[in-house]
Structures are given as C-alpha cells and as structure tokens.
A and B are shown apart, each in its own frame.
Chain A
Amino acid sequence: MTTLTHVLPYLVAAWVFLAGCYGLATSRDLIHAVGCLSVCQAATYVLLLAVGYRDGATAPVFSDLAPGSRPVVDPVVQALALTDVVVGATVTALLLALVVQVAKRHGTVDPDELSELRG
C-alpha cells in the first residue's frame, strides 16, 4: 500500500499524459483535440506538484502561519505550475481561434476531412 502511494501520483501523471496523447491522435473533432491537449497539460501540473510535495507539510504561505512552525512544501514547483497553467490557458485560446478559422475556411472540423497539405 505505502509503496504504491509513493509512486501513485507519478503514475497518474504518466497515465493522464498518455491518455491525452491517445485522444489527440484518434480525435475526430478538432475542438475535442484541443481539449485533449489540455488534458496532456494537466499531466504536467500533476507531475510538478507531486514532485514538490512533502509528507505532513503545508503550503509555504505565511499569512496565517508562523515561519518555521510547520514543514512546508516546495514553492518552486508551485511557481512553475502556476506559469504552466497560464501557458495552457493561452495556448488553448489560440488553438481554438485557429479552429474557428479552420471551420470557416474548410467547412469542417473533422481532421479526416481536411485534405490539403499532403505530400
């Protein structure tokens, strides 16, 4: 049980990443594909935060906590994950803007029906 919980967060991150990739590769709808890409990105948040966790520790925010009174988790990964969330949201928006234009110019959002750009 304990050995499992010691790797479970990492395994969940790996699973989520692979699931997102699978969805992206087999998607029949570009909007769905963009959603799958954000699932892939969720994996990176999970991995980063799992890496920074420390048993029995609390958040490194000292507004309601005397510094040094309790162990704290790693703030660096949190800052990285924070940046990552922003990046994810903006990339999603930009991709959706492109999907809107693809729908306009091709009349479809099914990747199977996009027949340009071959060879």
Chain B
Amino acid sequence: MHHLLPLLVAVPLLGAALLAAGGRLVPRFVAQSVACAVAAGTAALAVLLLTHSSPPLTEWAGGWEPVEGHSVGIALTGDGPGLGMAALVSVLTLAALAYSWRSFDEPPHGHAGAFPALVLVFQAGMCGFATAGDLFNAFVWFELMSVVAYALTGHRVEEARAVQGALAFAVVNSLGAYALLMGIGLLYARTGELGLAEIGGALNAHGPPDALVLAGFVLVLTGLLVKAAAVPFQFWLPDAHAVAPTPVCMLLSGVMVELGVFGVWRVYDTVFSGPGGLPAADAERVLTVLGALTAVLGAVMCWHQRHIKRLLAYSTIAHTGLFLLGIGTLTPEGDDGVALYVVGHAGVKAALFACAGILLDRYGSVDEHVLHGRARPLRGVGVLVVVGALGLAGLPPFGTALGKSVAEEAVGGPLTVLYVLASAVTAAAVLRVAARVFLGLGPTPEDAGGEGAADAYETTGTGEEPETRQRLGRVPDTMTVVPALLLAGALAAGAVPAFGTAVARAMSEATSAGLVHTSVHWTPLGVGLGLLSTVLAVALAALAVGRPGLLAAPGWALPLRRLQSGHIGDYVAWLLVGTTVLGALALPGILSG
C-alpha cells in the first residue's frame, strides 16, 4: 500500500501534462471532464490510503529503503494528518474544478487545458507537501504550489488589481521560500540529514540547542508562516485572495494557507520537539504570541472591509491565528481541535468564496455598499451565505464548532475569550454582508453608487470584472450545488460522531509523543461557547446593520489599515521584522540552555 503514496503527486501531474499537451486539440468540455476525473481519482486514492494509514505508512521514493538506519532516498509520510490534508486538498480541488465548470471565463485561445492543468499541478504540489517526510522535498513542493498559485492568482491579466496582488504574493512568498531554504542549509550543516525525523534525531544527538538551531528554526518557520499568513507575514494574503479567480480563492483560503499551519506543526513536532530542538516553552510562546496577534488583526481588519472577497480573506487570517493558538498549546487536545477546525473551516470558507464568486459574476461587483439590496432575488445563495456565516461562528453541530470547542478547552483562560471573539467578529462581518446584500436591511449606504467616498486606505469592491465573459443572467446549478455540498460536508464533520474520534486517533498516531488517547466529543461548555459566539455574531451584525453609525470605522483602526499599504517594499520590511520577532520570542530558552 505504501508504494502508492507518490501517486498522490504523480497522478495529478500526469493529468496536467496530458491536458497541457492535448489541450489545444480537445474542446473545453473534454479538458474539464478529464481534469475533474483526475482530481476525483486522486481524491479517491487519498481516501483509500487514509483508511490504511493506521499504523502510519512510510514510503522511500525510488525504493531506497534505509540501510543501517540511514537512507539516501526521500521519505514520504503517509500518516493520518498528512493523508487527511491530501484528501482535503483533493476534494476541494474537485469542488473548485466543478465550480469553474460553467462559470469560468473562456480560456485563452489554444490553451483550453491551461487552467485545469494548472489547478491539477496545484493539487499535486499541495499533496506532495502534505505527505513530505523530507525537509528539502517539502521545500520543493512548497515552491511548486507557490509558483502555480502566483500564476493562478494573476490569471485574469486584464485586471490591474489581479496582477498587482499576484506580484506581491509572489515576491513575499518567494522570499519566504528562500528563508526556508537557508534554514534547511543550516540544519543540514549541523546534522548532515534531510529527512524530518532524521534531522530531529541528529539534533537530539548533538546536545542542547544553540544559536544554529535557533536560526534554523526561525528561518524554516519564516517560510512556513509566510504561507500560513501569520502576523507580520500576512500582508500578501488579502491582496492575493481578493483578486484571484474564485475557484482559486477556494483553494488558497481553504487549504493552501492551512498547509502552512500544518507545516509548522509537522516541522516542530518532528524536528524541533526533542531535547536538541527548541524548548517547549519557547515554541509555545512563539506560536501563542503570533497566533493571538494574527487572530486580533484578522478579526479587526475583517470587520472593516467592504470588498467581500477581501473580507473573507481577512477572516481566513483570523482563523489561521486561531489555528496557531491551538497548535501552540503543544497538547494532543489542541492538535485534535485544530485538525477538526481546519476541515470544517475549509468547507465553510470555500463555500463562502463560491457565493462571493456568484455575486461577482451576476452583478459585476463584490462591494458590500454597492450591492446593497441588489441580491434579493438570489434567495438560495443568501441562505448559503448565512449558513456559512453561522458555520464560521462555530454554531454546533458544524465541524468548525466541534474543532473550536476542543481547541478552546485546550488553550484555556483569556485565549478562549479570543477564540470566541475572533470567530464571532468574522462571522458577524459575513452576516452583516448577508443582511445588507441579500435582504437589503439597514439604510442604503451613501456611496452605493460605487464612486468616490472610499478613503485612500480602503479597497472597494467595485471595478472588479466578472469572471465570465458576460454577466450571468441565471446562476448555473454547479455554482450553487458546490457550496451547498461543501457546507454539508462541514456540517457532517461535526455531526458525525465517528469522524471526530477518527481524527483524534489519526493525530495521536502521527505525533512523536506516541499514542495518547484523547476523546473528541461535544461538551456542554463547548456547545455553550459555540452558541455564545453565534449569538454575539448575530448581535454584532444586527447592530452594524441597524445602527451603522455606532460601529462605523473608528479612528483607532486606521493605523492598522494603513499598514496594509499595497507596497511590496513594506511587506518585505515587515517580513524582516517578523524574523527578528520570531528570533526574539524563541531566544530565552536558547540563552538559558
């Protein structure tokens, strides 16, 4: 069975190569069917492997089995979390391809296969990263998914914003990738190994951590946190997510960002958690501080957006912060909660982006003020958005709610409050949009014409072009069925009791700490907190719609919004500051050790 692991990468790549080769010969319909079939096949393979992943699979690419404990080959890790992420990636890819079936713009002449082929390569890169058991191999797949993501983000080259967002995305992520590679170089110099587990073992054999380990940790984490969009590496995310084509947004927000968090978890757990790695207290401090900052910034900025896709992008940042807080506890319960949360969040967020895409294609705008009341006819879509917002808030029995409640109990104390508030605020922002756009509640905003009024530090949602050639008269069924199914999946993740237990078991088998039996189930406290954040979200949204003046952008948020300047130089400067902050946060343990 373990020999099949590399197929998770090879199958989509082969599909992409065939599509690129034959794309100009076949009609668009055939190209899309082939792409969907390949994505579905890979998803099936991932699920099949997932069912056989206990005990975790290990594959040595090229058949280089270790001799005397050492191998010159590349290890692939097929454990629950890795294969789970691969399955999630594949399912979402399938959803994105199905969503783009009817909606997406005519492909460039002679390249009918280019867009589906790129999506398949994206899937391959993400699957490869999820199953990588070798640090350099992880870098290669990391870079592959980045490169494809840049191209996909800038896909609509006629759009000024799309190319600018893609460029900022590309520059910041490339720099992060090079930092990751520098870190790999440092760790290789110390250990002479590239496999994750082998590096960890060699570090432990070397003795207590020193500046080299610290630098390796900081540089590797910089790369991964750039991908995970943690503060202060997050600036690229809203720029890229707001402008990428909708199917791509579903993948970027749904899984790619979460893969950054997954990478942090995997690398810390396998490489740095031993006595030769970074002391637990330091890792906890790093992840908790950055996670809390990310959650706060994401929630505040999310609330102040009127560009709906940008709003959703910031809510992704807020949730990434929550994920980082969860894995920052370094406890099995925190990991379990985050794993479930990621699954639920992927479904909910992808569905919300899909709904935003429908608005864009139907009305040629994603501006909350301009669309005020205009989407009343789209009742079904409105229901989907409201359900998605409730899922985002963590209303039981959504998968998000179950994961959130488990993680909330793991973090404890004031961080639980942060969990409730961040999810409530982001959900409230989405509910506010739903109330205004789909129900036309509240006074009509003054700048509903779409011109002017926006201050210099606000990105409006006007001026976006629909992704279809003409505005859609009727919403194709695929575009509504896909988000509905995704929401159903997110609901099932929490409502099916066996799912949580399976996730918890897979997580415990995968961690280096060994088998720890944790139970994932609904607790009264968890349900209560979930209901609390839902009620808060509804109340906030009602207040914002009913009394817009009361919650209008306060002055204190302006400096925060000014930081998002759209300037690549600023983003790079913040990245440098971020590495320094990471180093400073992790320093105490090294000094005392």
Any A–B CB pair closer than 8 Å = yes
Q: How many residues of A contact B (CB 8 A)?
A: 42
* Pair A44/B170 contact, Cβ less than 8 Å: no
Chain B nearest Cβ from A80, distance in angstroms: 6
Contact of A40 among B175, B456, B458 (CB under 8 A): B175
* Pair A94/B150 contact, Cβ less than 8 Å: yes
Q: A116-B161, A119-B457 are in contact. Are A87 and B182 (CB under 8 A)?
A: no
Measured CA separation A48–B136 after assembly (Å): 12
Measured CA separation A43–B72 after assembly (Å): 25
Chain A binding site: helix, strand, loop or mixed by DSSP? helix
Interface residues of B in 282-332 (CB under 8 A from A): 304-305
Give the residues in chain A near B181, CB-CB below 8 Å.
44, 48, 84
Q: Does B422 contact A (CB under 8 A)?
A: no
Chain B binding site: helix, strand, loop or mixed by DSSP? helix
* Pair B147/A118 contact, Cβ less than 8 Å: no
Q: A37-B171, A37-B174, A76-B194 are in contact. Are A111 and B568 (CB under 8 A)?
A: yes
Measured CA separation A91–B170 after assembly (Å): 8
Measured CA separation A77–B136 after assembly (Å): 10
Q: Does A47 contact B (CB under 8 A)?
A: yes
Give the residues in chain A near B175, CB-CB below 8 Å.
21, 24, 37, 40
Closest B residue by C-beta to A51: B189
Give the residues in chain B near A99, CB-CB below 8 Å.
167
Q: Does B573 contact A (CB under 8 A)?
A: yes
* Pair B188/A51 contact, Cβ less than 8 Å: yes
Contact of A33 among B163, B188, B455, B568 (CB under 8 A): B568
* Pair A102/B164 contact, Cβ less than 8 Å: yes
Measured CA separation A29–B63 after assembly (Å): 48
Q: Does B564 contact A (CB under 8 A)?
A: yes
Measured CA separation A116–B564 after assembly (Å): 11
* Pair B572/A114 contact, Cβ less than 8 Å: no
* Pair A43/B457 contact, Cβ less than 8 Å: no
* Pair A25/B573 contact, Cβ less than 8 Å: yes
Q: A44-B178, A51-B185, A116-B566 are in contact. Are A98 and B170 (CB under 8 A)?
A: yes
Q: A43-B182, A80-B136 are in contact. Are A101 and B154 (CB under 8 A)?
A: yes
Measured CA separation A105–B465 after assembly (Å): 14
* Pair B140/A40 contact, Cβ less than 8 Å: no
Contact of B185 among A25, A34, A47, A116 (CB under 8 A): A47
Give the residues in chain B near A5, CB-CB below 8 Å.
none
Give the residues in chain B near A40, CB-CB below 8 Å.
175, 178
Closest B residue by C-beta to A91: B174
Contact of B167 among A30, A44, A80 (CB under 8 A): A30
Measured CA separation A75–B568 after assembly (Å): 37
* Pair A117/B164 contact, Cβ less than 8 Å: yes
Measured CA separation A25–B140 after assembly (Å): 25
* Pair A117/B163 contact, Cβ less than 8 Å: no
Q: Does B361 contact A (CB under 8 A)?
A: no
Q: Does A90 contact B (CB under 8 A)?
A: yes
* Pair B143/A44 contact, Cβ less than 8 Å: no
Contact of B569 among A25, A105, A106, A115 (CB under 8 A): A25
- Interface, chain A (partner B; CB < 8 A): 13, 17, 21, 24-27, 30, 33-34, 37, 40-41, 43-44, 47-48, 51, 76-77, 80, 83-84, 87, 90-91, 94-95, 98-99, 101-102, 105-106, 111-112, 114-119
Q: Lowest 7 A-B CB distances belong to which pairs?
A: A105-B160, A119-B457, A117-B566, A101-B163, A119-B561, A51-B189, A25-B572
In the complex, given contacts A44-B182, A51-B189, what are 10 additional A-B residue pairs having Cβ atoms less than 8 angstroms apart? Answer: A48-B185, A80-B184, A83-B136, A94-B147, A117-B239, A118-B564, A118-B566, A119-B457, A119-B562, A119-B564
- Interface, chain B (partner A; CB < 8 A): 72, 136, 140, 143, 147, 150-151, 154, 157-161, 163-168, 170-171, 174-175, 178, 181-182, 184-186, 188-189, 194, 238-239, 242-243, 304-305, 455-459, 561-562, 564-570, 572-573, 575-576
Instruction: List 26 A-B pairs, Cβ < 8 Å.
Output: A17-B178, A21-B572, A24-B171, A25-B570, A25-B572, A25-B576, A27-B568, A27-B569, A30-B568, A33-B171, A37-B175, A40-B175, A84-B181, A95-B174, A101-B163, A102-B160, A105-B158, A105-B160, A106-B160, A115-B456, A117-B242, A117-B459, A118-B566, A119-B304, A119-B455, A119-B457
